[in-house]
Amino acid sequence: MITPTRARNIVEYRDKNGQFDNLSEFLNIPGLGPIALTNICTELKSVDPVTLLDTKEKRGDATLQCSPRMTAINAQRFHTVCSVCVYNDIITYSHLDRQLYLMDWNQSVLFDKPTIKYDHLLYHEKIFDVVQGLPKADAYVMEEKRQKFTSLYAAKYQANSMVLFSMLATLINKDYPYTDNKVYMVNDQAINRVFEMGVGSERMSCIDFVKQGFQGEGILGDVKFPVEMMKKFTHANETEQFLLGSALIINLGFYKYCVLSKYS
């Protein structure tokens, strides 16, 4: 399987050394050994070129659906959208206006030591503080992910993320009329599909897409980045950059495909 890290290493190697002349060059890429390369080649042998071209053409017209469904009235009044992402105990958000100007882009960490058990009241207070600190927006978008419990060790962290996700959505939506929603959900695989950034069920690293966006290129080329936001991203570590990039891509996908493309 090509993981996000491997995919990023392949792209970086190609950018630095040019196009690959033969398969043996792939062995120079960190994390890509003979076994992984053999598995990739085996998978590619089963791909039908005609089916691949048809799929690519369909993706060109791909649309993104949100839950609940977007209405014309709501779309026309959405002047700002805030995306909220959950990873372990890290909450990442991006704030875009209708001209795709990036107004805010930040992260909050609930606890210094996420592996320690905390009182549930303290947990609730921390999450409530995060919600209170989110930018005020006309709509909030979150990404639905299908959890795969790979091991008992990972299960407790994945379950924690699911609980945190649910609490955030509930708290953001709590003061909104029950007949409507302030929080919209988009599917993570749908985001990968419309931006063609999925490798199997995994998402490619968003770091390179953000750097291209700084130059006005790539899938984030339409986003207007203030200088202070670019500095914030540049000074972040790799994990923080990946999460910031994911939050921005989710926001752009929702705004571009669920709102502006239908009700501009």
Position of tokens 């993981």?
3
Is the pLDDT at 11 greater than 90, yes or no?
no
Residue 36: how many CB atoms within 10 A of its CB?
17
Walk me through the domains of the chain, giving residue ranges and CATH numbers.
Answer: 4-46 (no CATH), 66-263 (3.30.420.10)
CB 140 within 8 A of CB 95: no
14-18, 52-56, 260-264: segment of lowest average pLDDT:
52-56
Of 92 and 155, more confident = 92
pLDDT at 50: 55
Confidence of residue 227 (pLDDT cuts 50, 70, 90): very high
Is the pLDDT at 140 greater than 90, yes or no?
yes
Adjacency order of strands within the sheet including 139-144: 66-67, 183-187, 139-144, 80-87, 90-97, 102-109
| Closest by CA position to 73, among listed 191, 179, 144 | 179
Q: 169 burial class (0-12, 13-18, 19+ CB within 10 angstroms)? A: buried
Q: What angle do CA 258, 263, 264 make, to 5 degrees?
A: 105
pLDDT at 61: 46
Is the pLDDT at 51 greater than 70, yes or no?
no
pLDDT at 197: 78
Rg (C-alpha) for the chain, rounded Å, is 20
In whole angstroms, give the CA distance from residue 23 to residue 170: 50
pLDDT at 80: 93
Share of residues in the chain with pLDDT > 90 (%)? 30
In whole angstroms, give the CA distance from residue 37 to residue 194: 27
In whole angstroms, give the CA distance from residue 44 to residue 39: 9
In whole angstroms, give the CA distance from residue 56 to residue 58: 5
Give the model confidence (pLDDT) of 235-251 as tens digits. 999 989 999 999 999 99
Of 197 and 112, more confident = 197
pTM: 0.73
Taking residues 166-188, report their average pLDDT.
Answer: 79
Taking residues 43-48, report their average pLDDT.
Answer: 66
Taking residues 133-144, report their average pLDDT.
Answer: 92
